[in-house]
Amino acid sequence: MKKIWLFNFAITFVLILSACGTPGPVSTPTPFNTPIGAPTNTPSAVGAANPCLGAPAPAKWNHIVVLMFENKNYHEVIGPAPYITNLANKCATSTNWKDADTKVNGTSDGEYDSKPSYATLTNGLSPSAHGLTDDTYSATTDVDNIYSQLNAAGKSFKDYYEGGAGGCGVRFSGDYHDPIRYYTNIASICDAHDVPLSTFMTDVNNGDLPDFSFILPTNKHNMHDNSVASGDAFAQSILDPMLNSQAYAKGDVAIFFVWDEDSPVPNVLLAPSIATGTKITVSTGNPISHFSALRTWEEMLGLPLLGDTNQAPSLLPFFGKP
C-alpha cells in the first residue's frame, strides 16, 4: 500500500512540474566592455555622466571633434573649473602640453599669440616656418594643411564658428582663430566648409557629423574675455549634448578639448575607449604638444603626416587598443 501511495505521489509531482514549465535563463548585467552602441541597461552606459569607459576602441576612427578655448594655462582651469576638471578626471589629460612657442623637439621657437598656435595645430609647422606669427586677421599662407589633406582624400570637414551664416567672410569676435581661413590653397572651397556653430548638433543628430570638426566659440565664451566659470558653463552646453548623442555612443568619435596657448595648456581627450583617469605622459623624447594633436588626427583619419608631426609623440595609444 505504501509503495502504491509513493508511486501516485511521484506521478502527481511530475505532472505539476510539467504544467508549470521549466525555469527560464537568469538575466545577467551587461558587461562593462560591451561594444559601444550595443543595448545596455547598466548605469555605466556611455554618455555625459560616463564619457570614458575603457570600452574597446573601434577598428576605425570615423570622426574627430576639436573644441578650442583660449589663453589659460593648465592650473587656471583644471581644478578651478568643476565641469572641465570632472571631464579631465573621468577621461584623459596631459599636465605638460606645449603650445606653438615650443618646436616639436622641445626647443623654443619664440613667443606668440593665438593665431600661430591654431596654424601649427592645422599644418604641423612652427610659426617661424609657416609664417603666421601674430593675430593679424588678413595674414594667410599657402603651406599644406589638414583641410587640403581632407579635401584631397574625399573626407568631410567643417569649422563651426559661433556666428551667423555666410562662410569665410563672416566676422565674429575672435574670427582670427578660424584656421580654415588661413590657407590660400583651399580659399575656393572655404565657404562650403565654414559654418555656424548653431548647426553642429543638427549635423550630429541627423547623422551628418563630418570626419573632422573644429568648434570655435567667440571670445565671449572661450575664456578669452570671459571668466573661467563662464567658460566652464559654456563648455558643458557644447559637450554634454554631444556626449549624450547616438553618434558618440557608437564609439568611433574622438574629442579633443584644447586651449591655444599659455603652456602648459589645458586639455581633455574624450572617447568611450579611453580608460577613466588616464594621465598622458611620455617618458623620453619630444614633448606632448600641438604637433601631437595633429599627428593623432591624421593617424585616426588615415592621412599622411604633415610638417614636423612625424617627430611628435602620438596620442593614439591613449585612446585604447582596437
Residue 231 is part of a domain; what is its CATH number?
3.40.720.10
What pLDDT shows up at residue 284?
A: 84
Residue 148 forms part of a structural domain: yes
Number of structural domains the chain divides into: 1
Q: Is residue 182 part of a domain?
A: yes
Question: Is 21 within the bounds of a domain?
Answer: no
In a domain, 27, yes or no: no
Q: Which domain holds residue 249?
A: 48-319
What pLDDT is stored for residue 242 in this prediction? 98
C-beta of residue 143 within 8 angstroms of C-beta of residue 309: no
Percent of the chain residues topping a pLDDT of 70: 86
pTM of the model: 0.87
Residue 13's pLDDT is 36
Query: Between 277 and 40, whose confidence is greater?
Result: 277
Domain-located, residue 128: yes
Write out pLDDT tens, residues 131-180: 999 999 999 999 999 999 999 999 999 999 999 999 999 999 999 999 99
DSSP string, 26-79: PP-PPPTTPPTTS---STT-SSSSS----PPPPSS--EEEEEEE-S--HHHHTT
Is the residue at 175 inside a domain? yes
Indicate the range of 25-39, 208-222, 294-308 predicted with least confidence. 25-39
Residue 64: inside a domain, yes or no?
Answer: yes
